């Protein structure tokens, strides 16, 4: 039973993603690559090993994903621009102090062009809409210093429509409450300074109900625990100031037990194959829980807190106190 | 369209009928984090995809190529987009496309693109009936698939056809018969009953509320430790602006331990079904509910609420001890000395 975070192993795991022939997960595809780089880099930053990956190579990769026609970033070279990859690109460049490489005006234009009349955002020209994309738009514009160009009331009104009878939020108006969608709606409202739109007592109770007897968190009632909810649920609770409503030691033990102890990485649950997505969100959850030796994570932006503070975007969230041992 | 058999499967680079296309390699002269180790087939297919995108070709062979890519990687959203554009340009029979999608959906239920593509197609065919059947079948393999339920909701709302709506309650009931703890099905039921406007025959809103209360109570009686059912009950009461105290007679037995073996049964009350003999009692959600009733009543009853919260914190729901302590603290602020 692993009782500590195997930092050197996870650093090595993330570095090795560039070399390893065996670690190809079937869900790691070109359409996720930009996101994967962001997940890897953020995890390294929180473990205070940012320099484990070459900065210039990474910046070059990000810039190679620029879609000149659309004026934004795709997931990989020659992939069409998408909001998910555009946000990840901005986050990576900010963390690598290379945001000046971005043609901000064009990116802003791309983002704003994706807003639908109802207030929600599409992810790309294909038209799939989801509150995840709404969050990407709000977060990206905020990081670029162009939040004022947004029609805030329209967005807030749409999020209001996504509020369900159980206090949670879904992917689109009418959809079932789901912890990941709760995160994107809560974080978007936090950036827009409109947290009062949330029925906080009910939602925070619903979030605390995600914890299962094994200490892990699920995404909706009667579903299985998954390490990634350690971030979605925890960040929402942290933003709403109710992180203490989760049994921290039980969750911590659960996350630590999902580590792969030979070649590193964290999986969705103990015994499964790790991937960089769950590695980041497990580490992010541990950071919010005050795990010793980790850097502070900003739950609104899911980036190092110091970086968000430096650009003046810190909101009133509360993590658990960092333990010294 | 001639699709090669398994034995004959040649790379596009080996097929003479593709010789006029200039394949484009993916830019790969840096070592990125999280690279993709393509099979030769995938590399070959996507090289040719980049080629036809560049030349803006929209022909039947493009459909073959994009299908090939999608089968290997349903997450390749550019391939989906381009396929849709090509289908439109060629004015293809979309029912055939939907049949193909039926097959792909079975393997790739969790991919957003599969569902979004269907949405686009159905908006063109304007034939939603078969879609509901397809969704029902697809749910048999994965009863809580988020995309599938969301798509069903979209079909109903978009076409807003009374005939489509009319079978929906039966459908949800059958899903709950299969698994009374299916949160997606409960959510969908709330949508049908309360959030999709008023349809012919449903004008008596009070009757709808009564029907739903009876339904959820029966389900709670059979399996009380079911968070979705209790959330549903609260949802109905909140929606109808009914005080929780009106449910006290029903809820109370669930908040107590099972009566000792041999206790004579209470008078059967159809309005307030009792917990089944096999039910695990007391039920946490019921204790919580009773506490909410006492808290709402205030003054003397706040003591009762506090006792119940304490029992949750110390015994029945220790995982959420901090939450229950919060409730106790909040309530104590309102107690007048």
Work out the average pLDDT over A295-319. Answer: 97
**Number of residue pairs across A and B with CB atoms under 8 Å?**
151
Residue A319 lies in a domain: no
Q: For chain B, list the domains and their CATH numbers.
A: 7-126 (1.25.40.120)
Residue A2 lies in a domain: no
pLDDT of residue B249: 95
Phi, psi of A118 (to 5 degrees): -75, -15
Give A252-294 pLDDT, tens digit per residue: 999 999 999 999 999 999 999 999 999 999 999 999 999 999 9
The CA-to-CA distance between both ends of chain A, in Å, stands at 19
Q: Which of B110, B144, B241, B336 is catalytic?
A: B110
Tell me the Cα Rg of chain B. Answer: 28
Helix H or strand E segment including B336: none
Give B256-276 pLDDT, tens digit per residue: 998 777 676 666 777 899 998
Work out the average pLDDT over B94-113. Answer: 81
Note if the bond before B282 is cis, omega within 30 degrees: yes
* Residue A111 pLDDT greater than 50, yes or no: yes
Round to whole Å and give the CA distance between B133 and B36.
37
Q: What is the mean pLDDT of chain B?
A: 88
Say if B327 is an interface residue toward chain A (CB within 8 Å).
Answer: no
Residue A58 lies in a domain: yes
Catalytic site includes residue B110: yes
Question: Are B294 and B276 within 8 A, CB to CB?
Answer: no
Question: Are A280 and A42 within 8 A, CB to CB?
Answer: yes
The CA-to-CA distance between both ends of chain B, in Å, stands at 84
Q: Which residues of B touch A174 (CB under 8 A)?
A: 153, 157, 191, 195
How many CA atoms lie within 13 Å of B4's alpha carbon, on the beta-carbon side? 13
pLDDT of residue A19: 58
DSSP E strand boundaries for chain A: 66-67, 72-73, 297-298, 303-304
Nearest Cα to Cα of residue A185 among A200, A199, A168, A201: A168
Distances (CA, A) of A235 to A317, B15, B100, B331: 9, 52, 40, 27
Residue B178, min C-alpha distance to chain A (Å): 14
How many C-beta neighbours within 10 Å does residue A228 have? 21
* Residue B73 pLDDT greater than 90, yes or no: no
Round to whole Å and give the CA distance between B20 and B37.
27
Q: How many domains does chain A have?
A: 1
Are A57 and B31 a contacting pair at CB < 8 A? yes
Residue A325 lies in a domain: no
Are A37 and B157 a contacting pair at CB < 8 A? no
Residue A322 lies in a domain: no
pLDDT of residue A28: 40
* Residue A229 pLDDT greater than 80, yes or no: yes
Share of chain A above pLDDT 70, in %: 95
* Residue B307 pLDDT greater than 80, yes or no: yes
Ranges of H-type helices in A215-247: 229-239
Residue A316 lies in a domain: no
Q: Which of residues 121-140 of A touch B (CB under 8 A)?
A: 124-128, 130
Helix (H, G, I), strand (E, B) or coil at A217: strand
Least confident of A142-156, A185-199, A209-223, B267-281: B267-281
Are B144 and A223 a contacting pair at CB < 8 A? yes
Say if A269 is an interface residue toward chain B (CB within 8 Å).
Answer: no
Residue A29's CATH number: 1.50.10.20
Domain that holds residue A149: 7-310
Q: Which residues of B touch A78 (CB under 8 A)?
A: 24, 26-27, 50
Round to whole Å and give the CA distance between B79 and B84.
9
Residue A70 lies in a domain: yes
Nearest CB to A37: which of B24, B33, B73?
A: B33
Round to whole Å and give the CA distance between A162 and A279.
29
Round to whole Å and give the CA distance between A304 and A312.
13
């Amino acid at each position: 039973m692993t009782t500590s975070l195997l930092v050197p192993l996870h650093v090595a795991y993330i570095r090795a993603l560039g070399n390893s022939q065996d670690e190809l997960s079937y869900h790691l595809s070109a359409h996720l690559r930009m996101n994967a780089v962001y997940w890897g880099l953020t995890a390294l930053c929180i473990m205070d090993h940012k320099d484990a990956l070459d900065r210039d190579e990474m910046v070059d990769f990000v810039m190679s994903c620029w879609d000149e026609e659309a004026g934004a970033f795709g997931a990989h070279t020659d992939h069409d621009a998408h909001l998910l990859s555009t946000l990840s690109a901005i986050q990576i460049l900010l963390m690598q102090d290379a945001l000046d490489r971005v043609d901000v005006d064009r990116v802003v234009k791309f983002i704003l062009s994706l807003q639908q009349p109802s207030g929600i955002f599409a992810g790309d020209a294909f038209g799939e809409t989801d509150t995840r994309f709404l969050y990407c738009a709000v977060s990206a514009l905020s990081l670029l210093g162009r939040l004022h160009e947004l029609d805030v009331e329209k967005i807030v009104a749409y999020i209001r429509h996504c509020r369900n009878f159980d206090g949670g939020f879904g992917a689109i108006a009418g959809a079932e409450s789901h912890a990941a969608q709760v995160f994107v709606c809560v974080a978007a409202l936090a950036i827009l300074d409109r947290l009062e739109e949330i029925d906080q007592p009910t939602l925070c109770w619903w979030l605390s109900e995600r914890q299962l007897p094994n200490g892990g968190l699920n995404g909706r009632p009667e579903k299985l625990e998954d390490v990634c909810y350690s971030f979605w649920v925890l960040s929402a609770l942290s933003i709403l100031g109710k992180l203490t409503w989760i049994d921290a030691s039980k969750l911590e033990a659960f996350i630590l037990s999902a580590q792969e102890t030979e070649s590193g990485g964290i999986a969705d649950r103990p015994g499964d194959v790790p991937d960089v997505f769950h590695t980041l969100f497990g580490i992010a959850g541990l950071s919010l829980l005050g795990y010793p030796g980790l850097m502070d994570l900003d739950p609104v932006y899911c980036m190092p807190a110091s970086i968000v503070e430096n650009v003046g975007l810190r909101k009133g969230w509360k993590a658990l106190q960092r333990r010294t041992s | 369209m001639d699709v090669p058999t398994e034995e004959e499967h040649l790379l596009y680079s080996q097929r003479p009928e593709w010789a006029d296309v200039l394949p484009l390699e993916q830019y790969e002269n840096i070592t990125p984090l999280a690279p993709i180790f393509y099979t030769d087939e995938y590399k070959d297919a996507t090289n040719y995809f980049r080629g036809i995108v560049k030349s803006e070709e929209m022909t039947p062979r493009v459909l073959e190529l994009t299908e090939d890519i999608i089968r290997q990687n349903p997450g390749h959203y550019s391939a989906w987009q381009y396929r849709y554009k090509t289908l439109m340009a060629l004015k293809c029979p979309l029912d055939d496309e939907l049949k193909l999608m039926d097959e792909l959906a079975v393997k790739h239920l969790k991919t957003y693109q599969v569902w979004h593509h269907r949405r686009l197609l159905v908006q063109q065919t304007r034939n939603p009936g078969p879609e509901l059947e397809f969704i029902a079948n697809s749910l048999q393999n994965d009863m809580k698939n988020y995309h599938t339920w969301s798509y069903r909701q979209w079909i109903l709302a978009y076409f807003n056809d009374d005939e489509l709506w009319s079978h929906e309650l039966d459908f949800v009931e059958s899903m709950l018969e299969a698994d009374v703890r299916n949160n997606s099905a409960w959510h969908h039921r709330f949508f049908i009953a309360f959030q999709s406007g008023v349809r012919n025959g449903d004008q008596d809103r009070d009757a709808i509320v009564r029907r739903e209360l009876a339904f959820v109570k029966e389900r709670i009686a059979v399996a009380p430790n079911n968070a979705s059912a209790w959330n549903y009950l609260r949802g109905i009461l909140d929606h109808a602006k009914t005080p929780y105290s009106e449910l006290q007679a029903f809820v109370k037995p669930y908040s107590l331990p099972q009566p000792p073996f041999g206790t004579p049964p209470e008078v059967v009350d159809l309005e307030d079904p009792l917990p089944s003999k096999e039910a695990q009692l007391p039920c946490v959600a019921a204790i919580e509910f009773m506490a909410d009733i006492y808290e709402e009543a205030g003054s003397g009853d706040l003591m009762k609420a506090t006792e119940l919260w304490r029992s949750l914190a110390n015994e029945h729901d220790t995982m959420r001890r901090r939450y229950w302590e919060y409730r106790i603290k909040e309530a104590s602020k309102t107690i007048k000395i």
